[in-house]
Amino acid sequence: AGSAMAAVRDVEIDSEGTFKYILLRLQRPGGGEQRHIVRGTKAAEFHNHIFEKINPEMEKLGYECKCLGGGKIEHSSKEKKIRVFGLSTGYGKADHSVTVELLKKEYTDYEITWSDDKK
């Protein structure tokens, strides 16, 4: 069972541009293991579009999926920079510091910053 959760990537975001993102908590029903994941894409007009896509995928794997909030990510792969900011109207502001810790594991050679700025 542990391998299924390990198979879920911590971070899946677009490689370029500014886009919405959400921070999610995955949990085995009845407690047990849990972890945070980050998902962001330009394809999502609203934060709930991201959730509506990921939630059924995670339920198939046997996780309860909870959105802990959202924001925006500005990603420049050329400059190796990621900026996390803003909030989600529907879900509220994600804890950007948690998001940044996950991003740092994936993008080890990047400069990654966050702020509560709206833009």
Could you tell me which residues come within 8 angstroms of residue 111 by beta carbon, excluding any fewer than 6 positions away?
80, 81, 82
C-alpha 48 chain-centroid distance = 12
Edge-to-edge strands of the sheet including 11-13? Answer: 11-13, 34-41, 16-27, 64-76, 81-85, 111-114
Binding residues for substrate are 20
Give the bridge partners for 53, in sequence order: none
The pTM score is 0.93
The answer to whether position 1 is within a domain reads no
The answer to whether position 3 is within a domain reads no
- Residue written as tokens 């996390």? 84
The answer to whether position 70 is within a domain reads yes
Query: Which residues span the domain enclosing 108?
Result: 11-115
DSSP state of 20: E
The answer to whether position 61 is within a domain reads yes
pLDDT at 7: 80
Could you tell me which residues come within 8 angstroms of residue 45 by beta carbon, excluding any fewer than 6 positions away?
none
Catalytic residue list: 47
Q: What is the pLDDT of residues 36-82, one digit of tens each?
A: 999 999 999 999 999 999 999 999 999 999 999 999 999 999 999 99
Which CATH number covers residue 86? 3.50.20.20
Domain count for the chain, please give it.
Answer: 1
Q: Mean of the pLDDT values across residues 78-98?
A: 97
The answer to whether position 5 is within a domain reads no
pLDDT at 29: 86
